[in-house]
Structure 1
């Protein structure tokens, strides 16, 4: 029987298109994400990446016996493997911000590949390959995911998700093939140790495996020995953390309030109010306001007496009620298990801020995809059209938000609006406004930064500098200058303060400050450069020439001194 050429051509092309559709989908996500490649640093990126001198030393073992600083001055987390990933990033590929962000983008796309592979295996009897791909694209292109791409320090969440999805894929593969308990044990322990060294919530990994095994491998015995061993490892790990951090708890309490200050009823009432908003925010995302509220968690007894048993009860209910609807089961697991308290000092809090919504978005995307492909909806509009429509809308907002991060003023305005006590945010907003020569607004922003970041007098100096340029009252400037003391200033701050006195025509004080800076650090080139400029203003060209030469001697790339010389 001869097959018609037209029929063969049509079906062959259709089959080829379906075959390569996942590759096209993931390539599309990668290309759209590249919009964020050259966006600036934000939030904890400054201290963890940009200003972290340890990151550029050849000492990868440092991260295993130390904690790293962040915007709260001491992060209650021990994340050596996360920091090693950043260290390897700059060691092999350089320290340009685009390199770090490219790493985040690639992990984000790989997470989609792992999610697609897993959903194909557990949902293939209920949804076509195209519908499952649509669910994964909704997850990858959801506008809130722009946070994980633009905030480089969010690699902790990206890597945690990567190992969770990898672990679930491997567990399904190993148990289905009847592999030995020893091999299963070694595989999961390796992933578990990596997760514990990436993010604290990695301690929930055994719960993920247990719940997944319960629903999707019902005919197979639970590997109880695995959970016992992982429990011992987790106990030793967290015991080490608590002992190691014992001397640091006082510093931590300056930023993390006592958990007993939050009442159980207040916490429950707050959750009742916020959780519906969180769900609504998933469907109609608005990532333009970046919120990271410091609403602290409920007490430890509340977390373990109410939250954990509630999760276990929910698992039993899901198994009995939705046994034949695995997509609902898996989606709810993704959402709920992502919020189980996992910190031994204070439990993680169930909040509505979008910074923590990464993996739960996958659960939401599965539910949304199943709804759009349901019979009720598909009778009105074909399910493929509905899913493509949502993917298209999310993609537009995803690109728009990533593009928005290219303009720091817009983002920092969002941040100070939602988090007005962030000195870091006010300082960064001040820097942006200063670059735009909006000196009055910049001065106010730096003033507020100094108010909330009392340990950083450099903000006060920058506030004064901008106030002078905007002709602010001399009385205000004098009051701010009186609050500054040399013992709290770094060498760079002293040089900047000298520049302020030059603008105030107090040349003698400026000269004294610059010589003080040289006395503290004789190799600090900017101090010599500013002395050269000062003597040039004072009409002493020979002295100016001498200090320009000294500046160039210490920093051969000092173009300003070369031009003035």
Structure 2
């Protein structure tokens, strides 16, 4: 989704540039229409593309027009219109999804962090993203990162430092907008496009793919700096050779890192083994590695990883461990250790009482033990939670058939 959104995002900015620079009336209409279509496709791919109109506004102000007091005042109305349109689009989308424009705040009830903690942790994560871009060696890249949650401005101290660095970078971009508009645009573009996924919304804290769109122009200032140095040393060929050698070494290093990273992503097993090695203190890598072993018949290895997962703190949802208990229950059920399976299923129900397959599996164990009426009550609970579940309907059908109710059996 992030890659697709990034592609349409770039297309939208490109079509807007063509719209602004072409003189033919028909072509202007065509490219403006293509810009709107690209925006719709980008937003449909991933919601963080809602920022595209603001990025285009910055592009217009900083790069297509001169930075003057008159231009800024003239475009203030445009800024408020664009910002208002984005807010209306966002709130409309949320309302259609949940029926309440502030319902997204309810998501924090299920997260192991609060809104305040997320806002405090966000700047540290953005600095981490920047460092990943500057130093993307394989041992720093992972599908799952262990990241301490900030509980105050001083815990950890890097929270305040990160806020200071980001505020300083944004302040510098605004201050230098007239003299260095391209540099300012690249800086503001990066932070602006992290605004949705690194601020108030109750999303998971960190994912590397959130850097895709923001990093689109990240290296432009670095390239400009390189050419400045290259021209500065035009009379000193050895220094130019040193600069070229450094760039060549850097590009080769990035290519090698990409090549090595392919070995990590070659299959599900290698991906989650890598994540376990880099973040052994997280729940998710152990759980997902256990699920891989479970799906491929390595039951002992699956049990080991699931149990390891249950020893670790959750980072995504408060209730995510119920799936681990459920999967462990299934394994012990297959191993015919029904008492342990029931114990694990009950642990899962205590965490999430709204997951129909748990009740279905409990019913299956109770039915084997001859407790048919009790099994039936669990099947009824399951069908109420998920009326379209094939397994639950099948098991209810079998129950009604044994109970001499063929019409009910046929219905299910």
Equivalent residue of 1:390, what SS?
helix
Q: Is 1:285 aligned with 2:132? A: no
Per-residue deviation, 1:165: 1.7
- Asked which structure has the greater RCO (Cα within 8 Å, sep 6+), the reply is 1
Structure 2 counterparts to residues 150-189 of structure 1, below 5 A: 155=1, 157-178=2-23, 186-189=33-36
Q: 1:228 to 1:282 in 2, by over 3 A?
A: closer
CA contact (8 A) 1:422 1:449 kept: yes
Q: 1:460 to 1:450 in 2, by over 3 A?
A: farther
Q: Which residue of 2 aligns with 1:482?
A: 343
Residue in structure 1 matching 2:90, options 219, 222, 238: 238
CA contact (8 A) 1:291 1:353 kept: yes
Q: Is 1:208 aligned with 2:55? A: yes
Q: 1:263 to 1:197 in 2, by over 3 A?
A: closer
Q: Which residue of 1 aligns with 2:40?
A: 193
The two structures have a TM-score, normalised by structure 2, of: 0.61
Q: Distance in 2 between matches of 1:243 and 1:319?
A: 37
Q: Is 1:366 aligned with 2:220? A: yes
Structure 1 unaligned spans of 5+: 1-154, 300-304, 502-506, 528-565
Residue in structure 1 matching 2:209, options 355, 366, 388: 355
Q: Which residue of 2 aligns with 1:336?
A: 191
Q: Distance in 1 between matches of 2:363 and 2:252?
A: 49
Structure 2 counterparts to residues 492-503 of structure 1, below 5 A: 494=361
Residue in structure 2 matching 1:418, options 279, 304, 324: 279
Equivalent residue of 1:454, what SS?
helix
Q: 1:197 to 1:227 in 2, by over 3 A?
A: farther
Q: Is 1:322 aligned with 2:180? A: yes
Per-residue deviation, 1:190: 3.4
Q: Which residue of 1 aligns with 2:292?
A: 432
Q: Distance in 1 between matches of 2:247 and 2:363?
A: 56
CA contact (8 A) 2:129 2:211 kept: no
Q: Distance in 2 between matches of 1:344 and 1:353?
A: 14
Equivalent residue of 1:379, what SS?
helix
CA contact (8 A) 1:404 1:411 kept: yes
Q: 1:233 to 1:211 in 2, by over 3 A?
A: closer
Structure 2 counterparts to residues 373-412 of structure 1, below 5 A: 373=227, 374-375=229-230, 379-381=239-241, 385-412=245-272
Q: Distance in 2 between matches of 1:178 and 1:297?
A: 55
Q: Which residue of 2 aligns with 1:58?
A: none
Q: 1:286 to 1:386 in 2, by over 3 A?
A: closer
Equivalent residue of 1:197, what SS?
helix
Q: Distance in 2 between matches of 1:162 and 1:463?
A: 43
Equivalent residue of 2:305, what SS?
helix
Per-residue deviation, 1:229: 5.5
Q: 1:204 to 1:311 in 2, by over 3 A?
A: farther
Q: Is 1:458 aligned with 2:326? A: yes
Structure 2 unaligned spans of 5+: 154-162, 312-319, 380-389, 399-412
CA contact (8 A) 1:433 1:439 kept: yes
